[in-house]
Structure formats: structure tokens, C-alpha cells
Chain A
């Protein structure tokens, strides 16, 4: 087995582990941190089902962002929705035979790659052009966008410019999945693409990409509005109760 194969296989496993443990740790940390007070942004749903609906609207449609700023919403939503399709489309490299619905989205998934890049270009343009957004931008915010744009562009290039040998890519990925490592295709475009993806997996748990799990734990969005009906009390706050006089 070539050095390159071993290197990438190792990196891939390592990055996946960092992603899973890193994000898993953050989720666990969010889950165990109490929210001692009821702080939903009102008007808020008064039932759990209502909260599920509110959260769905936020996660699927970016409702608050829509109310807020149509440009960020359109670019942001294009990017995220396209990303979802692209990710689902990529499932085909990890399964044999390919599930029917993954086959079904294959054609759409291909165009989604373009939509993804366009959305990101829109976002990075805003970052540079709009003075307010420029002010709050750190270098890492640009780097993150550039990283994902590069992933998108190398991905598209593999399809439309220098076609990569998909069969051997798939053999390599399946090999990783079944712990039976196969030689990695030495196509430089593919190697770049996968290097960038590995970097993304590595930075995910340590960056603002934590907004993905974070939103589900945001008390302003996930709390039920029922403080008068139900006493809401965190453990550490309950301890203070014991010191109360009446």
C-alpha cells in the first residue's frame, strides 16, 4: 500500500474521530448546562409541539433570518440547502448498491454544487462590501468561506473539467468504511478536494460551525412559554431555594 494511501486513510479516520468526539462533546456540554430561567424570545409557543414547529421553521426555512435580512437569507439558504443535497448525493460513494432515493437526487445534486458556490460567493461578497459586516468579520470568517468555496470548486472541477476516476474514488471510500483500505486515486484534484474536506472536519468542533448543533440548544428558541403554569428550576438554583426563608 502506498504511503499516500496510508496517510490519507489515517487522516480521514482521525478527522472523522475529531469531528464525532468534538461535536459529541459540545452537544453533551450543551445538554448538561442548565438554562435556569425561562427566556424564550416571545411570542413563543405554549406547547412542546409548538416548539418543534418553531424549531423546524428556523432550521428548515431560516425564519428569523428571513424577517431580518433578505440578502443574507437568500444566499445563506441557497448555500445550506444546496449543501444538504450535495451531502446526500455524496452518500453514493459510501454504499453499494446505491439507495434508490440517492440515485433519484443525483441529477439535482449535481446542480446543487453550483448553487452552493453561488450562495457562498454571495456571502463572501457581503462580508467585503457591506461596511457593517466587514467590521465584525475576523480573518477566520473569510478563511471558513474560502475553505468551503474551494471544496465546492474542486468538487465541480472533478466533474466538469478534469473528470476523476469515480470508480476508484468509490473503491477507496468504501474501503475506508469497511476497514479494508484500498489504494487512493492519485488524481491531484481529488487529493486537494479530500484534503480540504479533512480540514473542514477538523475545524468543525472548534469553530463557529458549532451553530449547527447550537441552534437546537438555544433557549430563546427551544423553550416553551409556560412559566406561570409550570415551575421551571435548575439544579443549582434549587439549592439556593433551600436558603430561602419562606
Chain B
């Protein structure tokens, strides 16, 4: 299938011995000058890159306490070394979280710590693992900081909570500031600025797609479920990843949200201005770009005059929404204070189920046995509901309400310890397919366990990136694409609508008549 070997799935996840240079390379495709400039970065590697990079690093340590503490505090205990799915899947030593941090930390130590400044005078910087910045190091950063999905698994297990995701974000921002950007992320952010979403889907095409979906649903269940776009005066603005508009299995999730809203009688609309829940500004560590992307949500909410904002299924989008939106573009005092801003679609659905507002027939999903993949950003960077850990509980309760057959994957691969899909953090691009396939190994291993032990047939996910990534890499491990499913597809498929009820009651009347 490709010019690398797919890791073999064993009975449990083996921790490999560190190897040098397995994943060395030139990294993903670089952003073109116009991709860069649209985001306010230099078009290509600037002449004075060395000084600018060093100063940018100092600037970031002054603006982000986390970064500063993380760069100072690591004791090289090694507790994180076996926690990264990319290390487990590639065995490349530089994919151990602390080793990845050290790529940046070594330079920080050389230029920005008293010990480094002192020791380098005697050429003894090696003593503390400090390094002078060179072009090779720039390339190494570019390569290895795009082998981190910013999943935060390492941060759960570090005694000081050192989060390599923060280091990766900072490194990518330093790189952008000297003109070395990644094509995938920066081009996409540009599309959001220009058109409104990551896929570059303009308003007419979006309207068309939604209309097509409405027809499809009506054909399917005989009910006119609407997908309103840009309608003013509705209660809820739904912001969802643009992949939901046509990628598989995402779109079935979107149909599920629409069915839920319809059955619960909630008034809602999508927005063509904010037709993207995703926010790649986070992946490149740029507060300014993240804010600029988020502004569209605020603007749409104001313009459409909604009372609530609800986000669709997406991991990093929910992180930006839950944890950052209020900070970036709040306050949201113009919305209905009775609801948290924003809400996750699963919070809405869960609440409706709890209050008995949905008419559910879980046997509709009896042909499947489910497991659930906790998205890293949802599990480790957000919450759902009022209680800590709700982000793990609510999706499972919803799935169990609409499916009769459910099994969790092994304890140490779910919840806060969940393994990333392997494609998060802005690396969901074909030029990084090798790291994506290899990084999926731990999750595939866990899936294999429940497939073999519990007869699991499908894995449900609540993230656009997870869904795309799995659909792509799962065949490398001998599974099939259609084994990945949106949680709201399960919900949508289990909902029973009036017309269906009357149809089936007609049927039963007929049978009764026959009996007579």
C-alpha cells in the first residue's frame, strides 16, 4: 500500500527500544508564500531567521506561563517516554514526549537560561543538553513537531503536567514567524478567512448540499427534517466541522443532529459565515489566528440573533469552543443565560434523552456491537455537562441509550488515557500518511482486543478528524472503513418518528385485520 511497513498488532502494546532516525525526514509539505502571508507570517525563510526565532521563543515564554514552566521544570524522569502513540508506533527516539520537548528546550537553554549563557562561553553547553540554533535544528523542529498530534496524553502522566502539545504549538509558531509554515494547516486557515470553512465550501454549494440532505432524509423516513441555513430569529446556532457536510461517516452525524433537533422541536440554523467548527489556529499555536477564526462564530451569532450556540462533533473544535471561545471572543452576554455557551451537541442530546423528549428504539442498532473512541481533545482538554469527567460519561450514556450492544476498549486506552487516532493536531494530510498509520497502532491494538473478545463491529467517534483519519488508516490494519461511525448517526438511526409510528401501527392494524 505504501513504502513503509504498517506496525504489526500484537496481543498488547509493546514499548519499543528507542531507535535513532527512523522518522527523520523533511516533514510535511511547506506552505507557499501566499498561504503564509494571508495569516500574517513571512512568505519564506527570512534572512535573519536565527535572531527572529530566538527572540520569538523569548517572547512566547514571556506570554505563556505554561511554556516557561514546562521548559524549566522537566527533570528527565522518563515517565512520559512510553506514553506517546507516535513513539509506540515508530520507535523513533525523538517521538518520546520529553525528547520532542528537548528539541526546543535545548535551544531555550542555550540562549535563554543563565546556565546556558554561562556554559556556552566555555563550550560546555553539552553538559546541560543545550544547543546552538542551526538550520538543521530548524528542519528537525519542522519534522518532529509535525509528528505530534497535540493530544496531551503525555501531560496526564507527567508529574508536573508538562504538556508537549504546548511545546509543539510554540515551536510551530516560532517556525511560522521565520517563514517556515506547514501547507496543510496554513492553507486551510486561509480558506476559512476567504470562504468560511476548512473545505472551502461556498454558501451556494453549502445550501445545495443541505437541500440534498433534506431530500435524502425525507426519502428515508418520510419526514421533512429541515437543515436551515442562515435563518434569522432561530434559537440555536449550530456550528459544526465542514467535513460534516459531505464526508463519510461525518454526514450521517449531521443528519443525526438534524433529526434530534426536529424531534425535540428545537429551532435551529446553520450559518454560512461560521460554517466551520474547526479552528486550525490552535494547531499552529497562534492566538491571533485562533481568535480571528473564532470571531466568525461570534459574528454569526450576533447577525442571526440566536439565543444559544451548539457545536457539532469535533475534538479540537470542542476544545477551542469549550475552553477558549469565551476567552477569545466572549463575553456572550447577548445569549440566553440559561444555557452554557457554547454547548456540545451531545450535551443537548443527552439532556433530551434524560428528559424523555426523544422517541428511541435502540433495537434499530442491533446489527452492530459498538465501542467508543474518546477523542484526545474532548477527553483531556474539555468537559461536557456539570461534572468533571462528563466528557467521558455523556457520550457513553448517549450511545448506550441508543444501542443495546456496547463494550469499552481496555481501561488504559480510553478516558483520560485515550490514545489519539493518529491524525490530530494538524497532521491529517496525505503527505504525512506514514506517521498517521504508525501513530494509529495503539488505538488499532485496543480495537482489535474488543473485536476479538467482545465481537465489537463498529467504533463510534465524535470528532471530524478522528473519523477521517480512521476511515483512511483503518484498512492498513485489516479493518474496513465503514466500521467507523458518528455517534449521532447511531442516535439518528434509533429515533422513531411519527410517520414511521403511524406506518408501523397501520401495519399492525393490517395484521390484526388479517387475523380477523
Which residues of A approach B to under 8 Å, CB–CB? 26, 29-30, 33-39, 41-46, 50, 58, 62, 64-65, 67-69, 72, 76, 123, 126-127, 130-133, 135-141, 143, 206-208, 210-211, 214-215, 217-221, 225, 227-234, 236-237, 240, 244-246
Contact = CB atoms under 8 A, between A and B. Distances in A.
Interface string B137-180: 00000000000000010011111111100100000000000000
Given A41-B163, A215-B160, A245 B295 contact: yes
A70 B387 CA distance: 29
Given A206-B113, A225-B388, A62 B159 contact: yes
B68 A33 contact: yes
Interface in B13-70: 15, 17-18, 61-66, 68-70
Select the residue from A43, A138, A229, A245 with max chain B CB neighbours within 10 A.
A43
B160 A221 contact: yes
A132 B327 contact: no
B327 A42 contact: no
Interface string B288-300: 1001000100110
A68 B381 CA distance: 19
B380 A215 contact: no
A231 to B, nearest CB: 5
Given A72-B79, A137-B76, A240-B291, A218 B66 contact: yes
Interface of B: 15, 17-18, 61-66, 68-70, 72-83, 93, 96, 98-99, 102, 113-115, 126-129, 152, 155-163, 166, 287-288, 291, 295, 298-299, 302, 322-327, 329-331, 340-342, 379-383, 387-389, 391-392, 416
Contacts of B299: 245-246
B63 A231 contact: no
Given A72-B77, A136-B81, A137-B76, A42 B287 contact: no
Given A36-B63, A67-B157, A218 B73 contact: yes
Select the residue from A26, A29, A65, A132 with max chain B CB neighbours within 10 A.
A132
The 3 closest A-B pairs by CB, nearest first: A220-B161, A214-B73, A138-B129
Given A68-B157, A211-B159, 5 more contacts: A39-B163, A44-B388, A211-B74, A211-B75, A244-B291
B379 A42 contact: yes
A64 B114 CA distance: 30
Contact of A227 (B65, B128, B322): B322
Contacts of B99: 135-136
Contact of A42 (B65, B77, B128, B383): B383
Given A35-B64, A39-B381, A135-B99, A228 B158 contact: no
Given A206-B113, A211-B75, A43 B388 contact: yes
Contacts of B383: 42-44, 225
A69 B329 CA distance: 40
14 contacts: A34-B63, A46-B387, A58-B161, A64-B161, A68-B80, A68-B83, A136-B76, A138-B126, A220-B162, A228-B322, A228-B341, A234-B63, A236-B63, A237-B287
A245 B295 CA distance: 9
A214 B72 contact: yes
Nearest to B386: A46
Given A133-B76, A206-B115, A228-B340, A58 B159 contact: yes
B76 A208 contact: yes
Contacts of B18: 131-132, 135
Contact of B161 (A207, A218, A232): A218
A137 B78 CA distance: 9
Select the residue from B161, B340, B388 with max chain A CB neighbours within 10 A.
B161
Contacts of A225: 383, 388
A180 B190 CA distance: 70
Nearest to A206: B115
Nearest to B324: A37
Contacts of B158: 64, 68
Given A133-B76, A136-B96, A30 B68 contact: yes
A211 B76 CA distance: 11
A80 to B, nearest CB: 10
B460 to A, nearest CB: 20
B327 A232 contact: yes
Nearest to A233: B327
B157 A64 contact: yes
A34 B323 contact: no
Given A68-B80, A210-B72, A237-B327, A36 B322 contact: no
B448 to A, nearest CB: 24
B157 A42 contact: no
A36 B63 CA distance: 8
Contacts of A135: 18, 93, 96, 99
Contacts of B342: 228
A26 B326 contact: no
Contacts of B77: 65, 69, 72, 76, 123, 133
Contacts of A214: 69, 72-73, 160
B292 to A, nearest CB: 9
Nearest to A216: B69
Nearest to B106: A138
A132 B20 CA distance: 11
A48 to B, nearest CB: 14
Contacts of A211: 72-75, 159-160
A245 B296 CA distance: 11
